Amino acid sequence: MRLILIGFGNVGQGLAQILHDKAEDLKNRHGFEAQIVGVATGSRGIIAHHAGLAIPDLLDAISTDNFDHYPYSDGLRRYDDAVQMIRETQADVLVEASPTNLNTAQPALAHIEAALATGKHIVTANKGPIARDLPHLRQLAQAKQLQIRFEATVMAGTPSIATGIELLAGCTIKEARGILNGTTNYILTQMENGLSYQAALQQAQELGYAETDPTADVEGWDAAAKVLILLAGVFGKQAQVSDLAVTGITGITQADIENAKQAGERYKLIASATPHGGSVQPVRLPLSNPLAHVGGATNAITFATDLMGDITLIGAGAGKLETGSALLADLLAIHRLRPV
Amino acid sequence: MRLILIGFGNVGQGLAQILHDKAEDLKNRHGFEAQIVGVATGSRGIIAHHAGLAIPDLLDAISTDNFDHYPYSDGLRRYDDAVQMIRETQADVLVEASPTNLNTAQPALAHIEAALATGKHIVTANKGPIARDLPHLRQLAQAKQLQIRFEATVMAGTPSIATGIELLAGCTIKEARGILNGTTNYILTQMENGLSYQAALQQAQELGYAETDPTADVEGWDAAAKVLILLAGVFGKQAQVSDLAVTGITGITQADIENAKQAGERYKLIASATPHGGSVQPVRLPLSNPLAHVGGATNAITFATDLMGDITLIGAGAGKLETGSALLADLLAIHRLRPV
């Protein structure tokens, strides 16, 4: 399977590392062999080679500085434009792992459209194109019998998307609700342990869970993007952030947390998607709810179904290898469906 | 998709009911249309019709007494022998839902072999053939490019098998451990609520969770069968019950439960499978373990993985529609892989 990687930050490097470290295991267990034939970054170069790029050299070059340091060999091509590289490079799958833009979904949207137009399956960790344009992209893909997979966009490699879309396909899902942002769950957990909001936020920043500007996490926008993805992926509904009721955790005080505790409850930032719409809201959960016991940066999702009642999935929601492994799971799913 | 159902008790009827009630939904959402072309029971008749049997008539006949009450029409065939019916009836999938025999796996094994020999995929709720003979059956199936699926054998429709085998295929699973028997978990939960073992068992029997002879549940044998299935399915290891360390819950006293509670822990009957073997044992879990919060008849499984850490799945482990929906999920998985 020939891959083009767009974006070679944490997530792209995580996938490359896994493909390299597990090459033999993946071949033996699944008959799966992958080759990276093109890599594009925003500012550190775009290269391609029809016979495959060497993963250790890619990781070396990027850790040194940029792809100018990638060793030259016959057939190596350098590009200025990712879309051009995608069009001109023969590959089976485009892996989109460039930074998310929720408003325009660009440039990821252009990458994906170029890839579909030239016959490539799509695997994306980029939330923008899925949150914003899944129905349109599915149409393009179906016309060419190509797949679009996006496990990495929600809960990293914890298989929330495949569970909601494929494994529970026989059920009618009434609601998907969960803890889909690890940073805010970490902050709420630490507030329950006695820290103030500010102290908990600072700790989350020191641990690398929260960005210097934590707005996207603490105001609920990151979770809202995942709600849009669940609406589109699980319920076939296209919506915009402005259609959702979104409240973050910045209004939650230590007194609120303490009151909840007294009542035997816990505050969680709950992202919810139903056939009728979506929301992100702090909710006081009774301890009988499995989501109440999900602490720290861990994520969780509950699918409320007609035939099976509630099914809950708990696991990591972020991380280099965790997200890389979601991309790999999608690649293996495409591999399983290929004609032998 | 033409189906043969072997066994028309709770589980088989559950599947038939779902296929009937959801026929339009399944067609619209998944392009999936199923037809039951043969049904075999142990003592209530075996019938087949190449043009399909009517589900309401099947359910009527069985609720009245037996398939002698199924209305006659041209082309209806009655059999004495399930294997003969399987061989002589053209179908795409055999659904095995007859009673489990863990020692011989019969007669299910003969049904499955006859189906594979005549080109039918296998979907089974019967634990025997999977626990005992999965490698052999996989070989037969692969030689004919057929699938063997067994989601219903562990945790009903909570997708433990597909998660462990397909969704986490890119990870190395180090251990699968869980609460795989609802009856014992219900009894332990009620003992924690203050009931004696005997009173809790009686309650479980009244609710229909436990059989009149509860041995298979309370001595750990039902959970052990699921460990064998996880060993075979997830780790590719064939084992026998005698290879496992199995302890049930009959030795757990109220004093044990109380001691654990004092220490902030909970007893759970934990079934575990690793690449090195399996066990079923009562374990005192700290409340930080997500399995500690799984109460009542609910089941749960944690996959310990290299790339993703722990992933936990919580949901129903039994029930007519719950198990029927596992069979449907497997049928839909086969449907997705069929050439368009």
Note the pLDDT tens digit of each residue in A239-253: 999 999 999 999 999
Residue B330, phi then psi, degrees to nearest 5: -65, -40
Q: One-letter amino acid identity for A239?
A: A
pLDDT at A132: 94
Ramachandran sector of residue A295 (left: φ over 0; alpha: ψ -120 to 50; beta: rest): beta
Average pLDDT score, chain B? 96
**Cβ separation of B308 and A315 shorter than 8 Å?**
yes
Tell whether B329 is within 8 A of chain A (Cβ): yes
Please give, one letter per residue, the 3-state secondary structure of chain B: CEEEEECCCHHHHHHHHHHHHCHHHHHHHHCCCCEEEEEECCCCCEEECCCCCCHHHHHHHHHHCCHHHCCCCCCCEEECCHHHHHHHCCCCEEEECCCCCCCCCCCHHHHHHHHHHCCCEEEECCHHHHHHHHHHHHHHHHHCCCCEECHHHCCCCCCHHHHHHHHCCCCCEEEEEEECCHHHHHHHHHHHCCCCHHHHHHHHHHCCCCCCCCHHHHCCHHHHHHHHHHHHHHHCCCCCHHHCEECCCCCCCHHHHHHHHHCCEEEEEEEEEECCEEEEEEEEEECCCHHHHCCCCCEEEEEEECCCEEEEEEECCCCHHHHHHHHHHHHHHHHHHCCC
Residues of chain A found within 8 Å of residue B162, distances taken between Cβ atoms:
166-167
pLDDT at A211: 85
Which is nearest to B59 in space by CA: B2, B7, B17?
B17
Which is nearest to A159 in space by CA: B92, B232, B303?
B303
Q: Is the pLDDT of residue A188 over 70?
A: yes
Q: Please, are residues A269 and A280 in contact by the beta-carbon 8 Å criterion?
A: yes
pLDDT at B154: 97
Question: Which of A307, A331, A337 is the mutation pick for testing B, counting most B CBs within 10 A?
Answer: A307
The alpha-carbon gap from A292 to the nearest alpha carbon of chain B, in Å, equals: 10
Distance in angstroms (rounded) separating the CA atoms of residues A107 and A221? 20
| Rounded (10°) CA dihedral B135, B136, B137, B140 | 120
Other beta carbons within 10 Å of B2: 18
Distance in angstroms (rounded) separating the CA atoms of residues B32 and B55? 16
Distance in angstroms (rounded) separating the CA atoms of residues B56 and B75? 18
Provide the pairing of β-strand B173-179 with A77-79: unpaired
Q: Is the pLDDT of residue A212 over 50?
A: yes
- pLDDT tens track for B275-317: 999 999 999 999 999 999 999 999 999 999 999 999 999 999 9
Distance in angstroms (rounded) separating the CA atoms of residues A184 and A211? 12
Integer CA distances (angstroms), B261 to A187, B266, B292, in order: 28, 6, 11
Taking the model in full, what pTM does it have?
0.96
Distance in angstroms (rounded) separating the CA atoms of residues B45 and B72? 14
Q: Please, are residues A203 and A195 in contact by the beta-carbon 8 Å criterion?
A: yes
Average pLDDT score, chain A? 96
Name the A residues in 8-37 with CB < 8 Å from any B CB.
Answer: 18, 22, 25-26, 29-30
Q: Please, are residues B260 and B252 in contact by the beta-carbon 8 Å criterion?
A: no
Q: Could you confirm whether B261 is annotated as catalytic?
A: no
Residues of chain A found within 8 Å of residue B168, distances taken between Cβ atoms:
159, 329
Tokens 């989601």 locate to B151
Please give, one letter per residue, the 3-state secondary structure of chain A: CEEEEECCCHHHHHHHHHHHHCHHHHHHHHCCCCEEEEEECCCCCEEECCCCCCHHHHHHHHHHCCHHHCCCCCCCEEECCHHHHHHHCCCCEEEECCCCCCCCCCCHHHHHHHHHHCCCEEEECCHHHHHHHHHHHHHHHHHCCCCEECHHHCCCCCCHHHHHHHHCCCCCEEEEEEECCHHHHHHHHHHHCCCCHHHHHHHHHHCCCCCCCCHHHHCCHHHHHHHHHHHHHHHCCCCCHHHCEECCCCCCCHHHHHHHHHCCEEEEEEEEEECCEEEEEEEEEECCCHHHHCCCCCEEEEEEECCCEEEEEEECCCCHHHHHHHHHHHHHHHHHHCCC
ipTM of the complex: 0.95
- On the 0-12 / 13-18 / 19+ scale of CB atoms within 10 A, A312 is buried
Q: How confident is the model at residue B340 (pLDDT cuts 50, 70, 90)?
A: very low
Residue A210, phi then psi, degrees to nearest 5: -110, 145
Tell whether A315 is within 8 A of chain B (Cβ): yes
Please, which residues bridge with residue B299 across strands?
Answer: B315
Residues of chain A found within 8 Å of residue B158, distances taken between Cβ atoms:
308, 311
Distance in angstroms (rounded) separating the CA atoms of residues A278 and A154? 15
Which among B166, B332, B340 is the nearest to A169, CB-wise? B332
Tell whether B133 is within 8 A of chain A (Cβ): no
Tell whether A190 is within 8 A of chain B (Cβ): no
Q: One-letter amino acid identity for A288?
A: S
Query: Hey, what are B195's tokens?
Result: 């009931």
- pLDDT tens track for A111-163: 999 999 999 999 999 999 999 999 999 999 999 999 999 999 999 999 999 99
Q: How confident is the model at residue B334 (pLDDT cuts 50, 70, 90)?
A: very high
Q: Is the pLDDT of residue A62 over 60?
A: yes
- On the 0-12 / 13-18 / 19+ scale of CB atoms within 10 A, B271 is buried
Q: Please, are residues B329 and B19 in contact by the beta-carbon 8 Å criterion?
A: no
pLDDT at A339: 59
Q: How confident is the model at residue A340 (pLDDT cuts 50, 70, 90)?
A: very low
End-to-end distance of chain B based on CA atoms, in angstroms? Answer: 13
Q: Please, are residues A250 and A230 in contact by the beta-carbon 8 Å criterion?
A: no
Residue A180, phi then psi, degrees to nearest 5: -110, 5
Residue B78, phi then psi, degrees to nearest 5: -110, 140
Tell whether A123 is within 8 A of chain B (Cβ): no
**Cβ separation of B311 and A158 shorter than 8 Å?**
yes
Mention every residue, 6+ apart, whose C-beta is less than 8 A from residue A126. A7, A96, A97, A98, A99, A100, A105, A108, A153
Query: Hey, what are A86's tokens?
Result: 């995608």
Max CA distance (Å), chain A: 69
**Cβ separation of B329 and A162 shorter than 8 Å?**
no
Distance in angstroms (rounded) separating the CA atoms of residues A177 and B48? 44
Please, which residues bridge with residue A115 across strands?
Answer: none
User: What sign for the dihedral angle of Cα A190, A193, A197, A202?
Assistant: negative
Provide the pairing of β-strand B93-96 with B121-124: parallel
- pLDDT tens track for B160-171: 999 999 999 999
Please, which residues bridge with residue A246 across strands?
Answer: A280
Which among B294, B312, B325 is the nearest to A308, CB-wise? B325
Q: Please, are residues B316 and B299 in contact by the beta-carbon 8 Å criterion?
A: yes
Q: One-letter amino acid identity for B254?
A: Q
Q: Is the pLDDT of residue B274 over 90?
A: yes
The alpha-carbon gap from A327 to the nearest alpha carbon of chain B, in Å, equals: 9
